[in-house]
Amino acid sequence: MTSASTEALELKAKGNAAIASRDWKTAVDFYTQAIELDPNQALFYSNRAQAHIRMEAYGSAIEDAAKAIEIDPASVKAYYRRAISNVALLKYKEALKDFRTVCKKAPNDKDARLKMNECEKLIRKIDFLKAIEQSDPPSAAEGLDLDSIVVENEYDGVRLEKEMTQEFIDDMIERFKNGKTIHKKYAYQIILKAKEIFYAEPTMPEVTIPDGNKMTICGDTHGQYFDLLEIFRRNGFPAETHAYLFNGDFVDRGSWSTEIAFLLFSYKWLFPNNFYINRGNHETDDMNRVYGFEGECKAKYNERMFKLFSEAFSALPLATLVGSKYLVLHGGLFSDDKVNLDDIRKLNRHLKKQPGQEGLMMEMLWTDPQPDPGRRPSKRGVGQQFGPDVTKSFCERNGLEAIIRSHEVRMGGYEVEHDGRCITVFSAPNYVDTSGNKGAYINVGSDYKLEHNVFDAVEHPPIKAMAYAQNSLMSM
């Protein structure tokens, strides 16, 4: 064995140790160094694919798994990891091929067989839905007569009449903390009213912060209800003088997504001009089917509730312009340098309810920054990455100080990149109960200076993340 091969194995061992300590980025770095020294070891690529999966860099994981298979066609782990990555990208037919290969090569692998069967069922379901799909299906609210729904005398919560009240929200917060739901009549009311408000808003609301007021910008909360309450406990609840902006991905993965959605929607009803919600890539039907929100709606309420939420999600604005200084959007910037704020203003989001695989809406929900200049395909496998030169040009052309985005875990809760022009904020600490990251939120005063705040995850009831996913496909 050469000295280079020996050193490469040592680096692989360090990568494995980083994986064990959940330091995915360091693991990628060690495996990369090992590959540079010895590029013909399938295990190095397969292990790096695992680290990429943990970082949700599914496109990179697929590339590494494919390289591992090229070197060693018998690498069962590589087929498995490529399958998992394709599931995450909603490419179920590609995933099914690899699951079948795993089951053929490792017939006693019960987990792979379970995932293969789940993948087959999901493909049949999607094909069925496509077969019966209507070009303009009726709203799930059609035939829903709220006045005829009786709230039973034994319901022990505060009643909701024609207008949202702080009393109802306070009671709802406690109900959710105690594992209770709200009555389905009130749930329907909240979604329908929020959808009405969202629909009337522009694609990019433009807000100012009056003297003496402040706004808090939060990133992904991903169904982590108790961590959301920790933000409010530390930072203050929404009020007439304290606006909040939630920058997408408030559902999926975490197992209290309905609780977060109802709470945010209720605050939107109470403070329609002082509480803002942008759409994220997880406020979409295809993601909700895999990552738990659809299953949670059905488990806690019913299928109609999910369909109503879907309609409300499709009405959400795609960005918010704060003080003409900060563009806040979930993903990031565009593949075309000609795109400007007026293009966002003119975008009719109501024509296309789901973002698809291309176009401005998809890019606003999916893109990520990169340290290198220029653009390249995203490590996620969807969308693209943009460099500091792209951000600088966009900000200068549009008179912005920075863009504020979310969409990616940051171990410190937030990160300032691209010479201060690109800020990522992520508000789900210890993401999916495994990542060990901090959470963060940003306060903005009337002087439009940014104050970054970091916080730790708090305890929650013993319900695991992804508990309501309809299948086992994303469990590792």
3-state helix vs strand vs coil in the chain, percent to 5: 50, 10, 40
For 293-323, write each residue's pLDDT tens digit.
Answer: 999 999 999 999 999 999 999 999 999 999 9
**pLDDT at position 196:** 98
CATH architecture of 146-455: 4-Layer Sandwich (3.60)
Inter-residue contact 188 to 306 (CB < 8 Å): no
pLDDT, mean of residues 12-27:
93
pLDDT, mean of residues 341-362:
93
Inter-residue contact 99 to 116 (CB < 8 Å): yes
For 267-301, write each residue's pLDDT tens digit.
Answer: 999 999 999 999 999 999 999 988 999 999 999 99
**pLDDT at position 92:** 92
For 54-69, write each residue's pLDDT tens digit.
Answer: 999 999 999 999 999 9
**pLDDT at position 448:** 98
Closest CA to 64 of 45, 78, 79: 45
**pLDDT for residue 163 is more than 80:** yes
The Cα–Cα gap between 25 and 415 comes to 15
- The residue annotated as part of the active site, out of 282, 330, 407, 418, is 282
The Cα–Cα gap between 380 and 388 comes to 19
Q: Which two tokens stand for residue 292?
A: 């738990």
Place of tokens 């970082």: 55
Inter-residue contact 111 to 473 (CB < 8 Å): no
| 214-218/242-247 β-pairing | parallel
**pLDDT at position 470:** 60
The helix or strand, by DSSP H or E, that contains position 200, with its residue range, turns out to be helix 184-200
pLDDT mean across residues, the chain: 95
Asked if the domains at 3-132 and 146-455 fall in one CATH topology, the answer is no
The Cα–Cα gap between 429 and 426 comes to 8
Among 61-70, 100-109, 119-128, the minimum mean pLDDT is found in: 119-128
pLDDT, mean of residues 114-139:
84
**pLDDT at position 240:** 96
- Please, which pLDDT band fits residue 473 given cuts at 50, 70 and 90? low
**pLDDT at position 128:** 85
Q: Which two tokens stand for residue 418?
A: 């691209």
The Cα–Cα gap between 349 and 351 comes to 5
**pLDDT at position 314:** 97
The Cα–Cα gap between 112 and 101 comes to 10
As to burial, measured by CB atoms within 10 angstroms (0-12 exposed, 13-18 middle, 19+ buried), residue 126 is middle
**pLDDT at position 223:** 98
Inter-residue contact 212 to 254 (CB < 8 Å): no
- Please, which pLDDT band fits residue 382 given cuts at 50, 70 and 90? confident
CA atoms within a 13 Å half-sphere pointing along the CA-CB vector of 260: 31
CATH superfamily of 3-132: Tetratricopeptide repeat domain (1.25.40.10)
Closest CA to 269 of 176, 190, 158, 181: 190
The helix or strand, by DSSP H or E, that contains position 231, with its residue range, turns out to be helix 225-235
**pLDDT at position 142:** 94
Beta strands in 168-285 (DSSP E): 206-207, 214-218, 242-247, 275-278
**pLDDT for residue 472 is more than 70:** no
Percentage of residues in the chain with pLDDT exceeding 70?
A: 98
As to burial, measured by CB atoms within 10 angstroms (0-12 exposed, 13-18 middle, 19+ buried), residue 406 is buried
Residues near 39 by Cβ (< 8 Å), separated by ≥ 6?
Answer: none
pLDDT, mean of residues 174-203:
98
List the chain domain ranges.
Answer: 3-132, 146-455
- What number of helices (H) and strands (E) belong to the chain? 17, 14
**pLDDT for residue 199 is more than 90:** yes
For 75-92, write each residue's pLDDT tens digit.
Answer: 999 999 999 999 988 899
- Please, which pLDDT band fits residue 476 given cuts at 50, 70 and 90? low
**pLDDT at position 165:** 98
pLDDT, mean of residues 422-449:
96
The Cα–Cα gap between 330 and 332 comes to 6
Helices 3-20 and 24-37, packing angle to 10 deg: 170
Tell which phi-psi region holds residue 362, choosing left (phi > 0), alpha (psi between -120 and 50) or beta: alpha
**pLDDT at position 135:** 67
Inter-residue contact 193 to 269 (CB < 8 Å): yes
Closest CA to 422 of 455, 394, 446: 394
- Please, which pLDDT band fits residue 1 given cuts at 50, 70 and 90? low
Residue 25's DSSP bridge partners are none
Q: Which two tokens stand for residue 459?
A: 């305890």
- Does the annotation mark 52 as catalytic? no
- Please, which pLDDT band fits residue 48 given cuts at 50, 70 and 90? very high
Model pTM score = 0.92
Q: Which two tokens stand for residue 128?
A: 């069925």
**pLDDT at position 125:** 83
Q: Which DSSP string corresponds to 147-186?
A: GG----TT--SPP--SS--HHHHHHHHHHHHTT----HHH
Q: Report H helices in 55-139.
A: 58-71, 76-88, 92-105, 110-132
More confident residue, 89 or 387: 387
Full strand arrangement of the beta sheet holding 326-329: 206-207, 319-322, 326-329, 402-405, 422-425, 414-417
Residues near 150 by Cβ (< 8 Å), separated by ≥ 6?
Answer: 185
Based on its alpha-carbon atoms, the radius of gyration of the chain, rounded to whole angstroms, reads 23
Q: What count of other Cβ atoms lies within 10 Å of the Cβ of residue 424?
A: 23
Q: Which two tokens stand for residue 322?
A: 């704060």
Percentage of residues in the chain with pLDDT exceeding 90?
A: 88
**pLDDT at position 84:** 94
